């Protein structure tokens, strides 16, 4: 499996399982990748009528088995990640204001 195929499968699996409840109610407006220090996708969401939402879906780190650009072994990288890290949803409206109490 190529790097691209593996990353697409990773996204599809998390869209169908980790974010099924969000993806059923909203659409992905755009998807971007953080590349440092790990590959990590995040998605800006919108309503079905394409009005922007205040939600951002932060996917867990993607650890490819091929195409590793840093030369670091995949096993070494896997061992350095927090094993309890889970996907999360960010309410963008609150994160912009800096008020996380809501």
Would you list the domain boundaries of the chain?
A: 3-97
Cα–Cα separations (whole angstroms), residue 27 to 20, 72, 74: 11, 35, 32
Q: Among all chains, which residue has been given the structure tokens 């009528």? A: 49
How confident is the model at residue 95, as a pLDDT?
A: 47
- List 39's β-bridge partners, or say none: 62
Phi, psi of 61 (to 5 degrees): -60, 140
pLDDT band at 94 (very low <50, low <70, confident <90, very high): very low
- Residue 50: the pLDDT is 83
Q: What average pLDDT does this structure show over 44-73?
A: 79
| pLDDT confidence of residue 100 | 44
């Amino acid at each position: 499996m190529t790097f691209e195929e593996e990353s697409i499968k990773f996204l599809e699996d998390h869209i169908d399982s980790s974010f099924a409840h969000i993806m059923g109610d909203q659409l992905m407006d755009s998807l971007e990748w953080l590349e440092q220090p790990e590959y990590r996708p995040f998605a800006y969401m919108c309503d079905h009528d394409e009005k922007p939402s205040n939600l951002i879906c932060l996917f867990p780190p993607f650890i490819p088995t091929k195409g590793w650009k840093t030369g670091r072994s995949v096993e070494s990288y896997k061992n350095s990640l927090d094993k309890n890290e889970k996907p999360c949803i960010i309410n963008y409206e609150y994160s912009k204001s800096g008020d996380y109490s809501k």
